[in-house]
Amino acid sequence: MILRAFMMALSQIGDPRFRRVLFLGIGLTFALLVASYAGLLGLVNWMVGDEATVPVLGKVEWLDDLLSFSSFIFMMVLSVFLMVPVASAITSMFLDEVAQAVEDEHYPHLPEVPGVPFFEALRDTLGFLGLLIVANIFAFIVGSLLFFLFPPAWAIIFWGLNGFLLGREYFTLAAIRRVGRVKAKQLRGQHMGTIWLAGILMAIPLSIPVLNLFIPILGAATFTHIYHIIGDHR
């Protein structure tokens, strides 16, 4: 089911609406990474002063560092840690458009649905971002404690926890459009194993720089297909 849903999502990547959301998503993601890195450099510059030398970062010249080629490399590394919350934010903003493109192409018999109200989507986005931040702080602490006993523990905890949260959120957002929040939660509970596995398979490439820029839109489309496949059998 998951592979079928992903292949259908991938086959539609040439759809003009997919490309529009894809490029918007990549642009917003990159802007968020630049802003995060700029904030980090600004904080270091404020703490240690102009042209200071600090461990790991070396000589800190705020604007020069921000515009350097090495900043691009550093931002790609930073994206490993930031892409899970970034992906959730981008999905909440663009899921309606992606889901509608998927349904127009693969499920044209379905009636139109009203879009999710902006403030409702914003509330869900902020709530999920807060949950992700708390959960990932917990995962980082536990993973770090277990790392020296079992090095793969960090990756298992990170991917397992974020896979659960991403799958839960992406599926719920896709299903709410058609069946409402209560029924979406019921379906999610009935198929949690499949949804969790799909979330893990999404969380893993979100940890790979550059590739992770393309994952949010493919994830949104894949979970839209998963909802409809599950819906066909309920």
Q: Give the residue extent of every domain in the chain.
A: 2-231
Query: For 195-212, how does the pLDDT look when each residue is reduced to its tens digit (9 = 90+)?
Result: 999 999 988 988 787 777
**pLDDT of amino acid 76:** 64
Least confident piece of the model among 53-62, 68-77, 98-107, 145-154: 53-62
Banded model confidence at residue 16, pLDDT cuts 50, 70, 90 = confident
Instruction: Tell me the mean pLDDT in the region 150-172.
Output: 87
Least confident piece of the model among 58-62, 188-192, 209-213, 214-218: 58-62
pTM reported for the whole predicted model: 0.77
Instruction: Tell me the mean pLDDT in the region 6-18.
Output: 86
State yes or no: pLDDT of 137 exceeds 90.
no
SS (H, E, C) the chain: CHHHHHHHHHHCCCCHHHHHHHHHHHHHHHHHHHHHHHHHHHHHHHHHCCCEEECCCEEECHHHHHHCHHHHHHHHHHHHHHHHHHHHHHHHHHHHHHHHHHHHHHCCCCCCCCCCCHHHHHHHHHHHHHHHHHHHHHHHHHHHHHHCCCCCHHHHHHHHHHHHHHHHHHHHHHHHHHHHHHHHHHHHHHCHHHHHHHHHHHHCHHHCCCHHHCHHHHHHHHHHHHHHHHHCCC
